[in-house]
Chain A
Amino acid sequence: MSEPEEVLRLAGVCKVYNPGTPQETEVLHGIDLRLVRGELTALIGPSGSGKSTLLNLIGLLDSPSAGELYLQGRATRELDDRARTRLRNEAIGFVFQFHHLIPAFSVLDNVLMPLMIRHGKPDAADIERARGLLAEVGLEGFAGKKATELSGGQQQRVAIARALVTHPALLLADEPTGNLDTHTAENVFELFRRFNAQFGCAVLVVTHDPRLAAGCLRTIELVDGRIVGAPGAP
Chain B
Amino acid sequence: MGGSLWLEWKIALRFLLDNYLQTLLILVGITVGCAVIVFITALVTGLQSNVIARTLGTQAHIRMLPPDEVNRVLPAPLGLLALDLENPRPQRLRSISNWQDVRDVLDRQPDILAVSPVVSGPAMGRRGVARASVALLGIDPVRYLRVVPVADDLIAGRFEIGAGHAVVGKELADDLGLDLGDKLRLDAGEGREAIVDITGIFELGVRELDARHVYLDLKQAQTLLDLPGAVTVIDTKVADIFAAEDIAVRLARLTGLKAESWMATNGELLNALRSQTMTTQMIRIFVGLSVAFGIASVLAVSVVQRTREIGILRAMGSPRGQILRVFLLQGGLLGLLGSGVGGALAWLLVQAFNRFGARLFEILVEPTLIPGAMAVATLTGVLAAAVPARRAARYDPAVAIRYV
Chain A interface residues toward B at CB < 8 A: 56, 59, 61-62, 81-82, 85-90, 94, 96, 100-105, 109, 113-114, 116-121, 162
Contact (Cβ within 8 A) B4 A85: no
Q: Does B155 contact A (CB under 8 A)?
A: no
Contact (Cβ within 8 A) A118 B4: no
Contact (Cβ within 8 A) B317 A118: yes
Contact of B319 among A82, A105, A116 (CB under 8 A): A82
In the complex, chain A residues whose CB is within 8 Å of the CB of B401: 61, 96, 100
What's the minimum C-beta distance from A109 to chain B, rounded to whole angstroms? 8
In the complex, chain B residues whose CB is within 8 Å of the CB of A61: 314-315, 396-398, 401
Q: Does B212 contact A (CB under 8 A)?
A: no
- Nearest opposing residue in chain A for B3, CB measure: A120
Q: Does B356 contact A (CB under 8 A)?
A: no
Q: B10-18, B202-210, B265-273: which lies at the A interface?
A: B10-18
**Which among B1, B17, B308, B315 has the highest number of chain A CB atoms within 10 Å?**
B315
**A-contact 0/1 string along B187-221, CB 8 Å cutoff:** 00000000000000000000000000000000000
Q: Does B290 contact A (CB under 8 A)?
A: no
Contact (Cβ within 8 A) B313 A113: yes
Contacts beyond the supplied A120-B3, A121-B4: 14 A-B pairs with Cβ under 8 Å: A59-B398, A61-B315, A81-B320, A82-B319, A86-B1, A86-B317, A89-B317, A94-B316, A100-B308, A100-B312, A109-B10, A118-B1, A119-B1, A121-B7
Contact (Cβ within 8 A) A88 B2: no
Interchain CA distance A46-B296 in the complex, whole Å = 43
Interchain CA distance A80-B392 in the complex, whole Å = 18
- Nearest opposing residue in chain A for B318, CB measure: A117
Contact (Cβ within 8 A) B6 A121: yes
Interchain CA distance A102-B315 in the complex, whole Å = 12
What's the minimum C-beta distance from A25 to chain B, rounded to whole angstroms? 16
- Nearest opposing residue in chain B for A88, CB measure: B317
Contact (Cβ within 8 A) B316 A104: no
In the complex, chain A residues whose CB is within 8 Å of the CB of B1: 86, 89, 117-119
Interchain CA distance A94-B313 in the complex, whole Å = 11
**A-contact 0/1 string along B1-36, CB 8 Å cutoff:** 111101100100011011000000000000000000
In the complex, chain A residues whose CB is within 8 Å of the CB of B319: 81-82, 85-86
- Nearest opposing residue in chain B for A56, CB measure: B398
Contact (Cβ within 8 A) B316 A88: yes
Interface of chain B: mostly helix, strand, loop or mixed:
helix
4 tightest CB-CB pairs across the interface, nearest first? A89-B317, A104-B18, A61-B398, A120-B6
Given A117-B7, A119-B1, A120-B4, answer yes or no on A88-B398 (Cβ-Cβ < 8 Å). Answer: no
Chain B interface residues toward A at CB < 8 A: 1-4, 6-7, 10, 14-15, 17-18, 308-309, 311-320, 322, 396-398, 401
Contact (Cβ within 8 A) B6 A85: no
In the complex, chain A residues whose CB is within 8 Å of the CB of B316: 88-89, 94, 113-114, 117, 162
In the complex, chain B residues whose CB is within 8 Å of the CB of A101: 312
Contact (Cβ within 8 A) B322 A117: yes
In the complex, chain B residues whose CB is within 8 Å of the CB of A90: 317
Contact (Cβ within 8 A) A94 B315: yes
In the complex, chain A residues whose CB is within 8 Å of the CB of B317: 85-90, 114, 117-118
What's the minimum C-beta distance from B236 to chain A, rounded to whole angstroms? 63
Q: Can you list 17 A-B pairs, Cβ within 8 angstroms, ordered by A?
A: A56-B398, A61-B401, A62-B396, A62-B398, A81-B320, A82-B319, A86-B317, A87-B317, A89-B317, A96-B401, A100-B308, A100-B401, A113-B313, A114-B317, A116-B10, A117-B316, A120-B4
- Nearest opposing residue in chain A for B5, CB measure: A120
- Nearest opposing residue in chain A for B321, CB measure: A82
Interchain CA distance A162-B319 in the complex, whole Å = 18
**Which among B6, B17, B401 has the highest number of chain A CB atoms within 10 Å?**
B401
In the complex, chain B residues whose CB is within 8 Å of the CB of A86: 1, 317, 319
In the complex, chain B residues whose CB is within 8 Å of the CB of A56: 398
- Nearest opposing residue in chain A for B2, CB measure: A120
What's the minimum C-beta distance from A174 to chain B, rounded to whole angstroms? 9
Interchain CA distance A109-B17 in the complex, whole Å = 16
In the complex, chain A residues whose CB is within 8 Å of the CB of B3: 119-120
In the complex, chain B residues whose CB is within 8 Å of the CB of A116: 2, 6-7, 10
What's the minimum C-beta distance from B344 to chain A, rounded to whole angstroms? 28
Interchain CA distance A152-B11 in the complex, whole Å = 24
Interchain CA distance A62-B2 in the complex, whole Å = 24
What's the minimum C-beta distance from A163 to chain B, rounded to whole angstroms? 9
Contact of A102 among B2, B6, B312, B322 (CB under 8 A): B312
In the complex, chain A residues whose CB is within 8 Å of the CB of B309: 102-104
Contact of B313 among A59, A117, A118 (CB under 8 A): A117
In the complex, chain B residues whose CB is within 8 Å of the CB of A102: 309, 312-313
Interchain CA distance A119-B319 in the complex, whole Å = 12
Contact of B18 among A87, A103, A113 (CB under 8 A): A103
Interchain CA distance A56-B401 in the complex, whole Å = 11
Interchain CA distance A61-B314 in the complex, whole Å = 9
Interchain CA distance A150-B363 in the complex, whole Å = 57
Interchain CA distance A121-B10 in the complex, whole Å = 9
Interchain CA distance A109-B18 in the complex, whole Å = 15
Contact (Cβ within 8 A) A85 B318: yes
Contact (Cβ within 8 A) B315 A118: no
Interchain CA distance A102-B322 in the complex, whole Å = 16
In the complex, chain A residues whose CB is within 8 Å of the CB of B2: 116-120
Interchain CA distance A192-B295 in the complex, whole Å = 44
What's the minimum C-beta distance from B312 to chain A, rounded to whole angstroms? 5
What's the minimum C-beta distance from A122 to chain B, rounded to whole angstroms? 9
Interchain CA distance A179-B311 in the complex, whole Å = 20
- Nearest opposing residue in chain A for B310, CB measure: A102
What's the minimum C-beta distance from A204 to chain B, rounded to whole angstroms? 15
In the complex, chain B residues whose CB is within 8 Å of the CB of A89: 1, 316-318
Interchain CA distance A215-B40 in the complex, whole Å = 73
Given A116-B10, A117-B7, answer yes or no on A104-B15 (Cβ-Cβ < 8 Å). Answer: yes
